[in-house]
A and B are shown apart, each in its own frame.
Chain A
Amino acid sequence: GENVEQHPSTLSVQEGDSAVIKCTYSDSASNYFPWYKQELGKGPQLIIDIRSNVGEKKDQRIAVTLNKTAKHFSLHITETQPEDSAVYFCAARSDTGRRALTFGSGTRLQVQP
């Protein structure tokens, strides 16, 4: 089955700096790659996703890049703010076979004011 690895496990940045979180996946059939943000005491929430037919997607301060050849994808957050502090999860899924997402282990992002 799919295996998703995520790095780093913790990340501390100064407010206004950029943050980058990286993931690799194992199943070459995977074609959908979402990112979820989990705040304390809440369930994860989707913040951005990308399909394998595009290499990059942006939404304001958040961007995701995908390299299908290398089987890795990254989340980029620019101009970080204290409210960006949370745990971020990457995930992967294929349209064939199991419909459920396989999640990475999570990255705890701390934005220092």
Chain B
Amino acid sequence: DAGVIQSPRHEVTEMGQEVTLRCKPISGHDYLFWYRQTMMRGLELLIYFNNNVPIDDSGMPEDRFSAKMPNASFSTLKIQPSEPRDSAVYFCASSTSRGLSEKLFFGSGTQLSVL
């Protein structure tokens, strides 16, 4: 398996533009998580899905952020409009509730810079 795949790896945009981050979880995993990493706040949970259904979005900063999971193999995190304070590394991660392992598999992240 190729692991969790995120795209793009890097995104540079201007304030006010729409940004869409993409994630393909590991096949068969039923949980998907979006985390944001910054120096100041560390790894923060934004939202997570179980079987494509959003379970907890209390970490989504504000209405400018939205996330979808239209099927088991794809999720998007959208920021509209983007602001400089959104600059961070955004990680997608997936896991399975089946079996004994609770391991969370992270993608390589998307480095977002909003100018």
Contacts and interface: CB of A to CB of B under 8 A. Distances in A.
**A and B: bona fide binding partners:** yes
Interface residues of A, number: 20
A105 interface: yes
B106 A43 contact: yes
Contacts of A98: 56
A45 B105 CA distance: 7
Most buried by B among A42, A101, A103: A101
Most buried by A among B31, B102, B107, B108: B102
> Could you tell me the dominant secondary structure of chain B's interface residues?
strand
Contacts of A36: 104
A42 B35 CA distance: 14
A34 B94 CA distance: 15
Nearest to B92: A43
Nearest to A103: B43
Nearest to A46: B103
Interface of A: 32, 34, 36, 41-46, 49, 89, 98-106
8 contacts: A34-B104, A36-B104, A43-B109, A44-B104, A46-B104, A98-B56, A99-B50, A104-B42
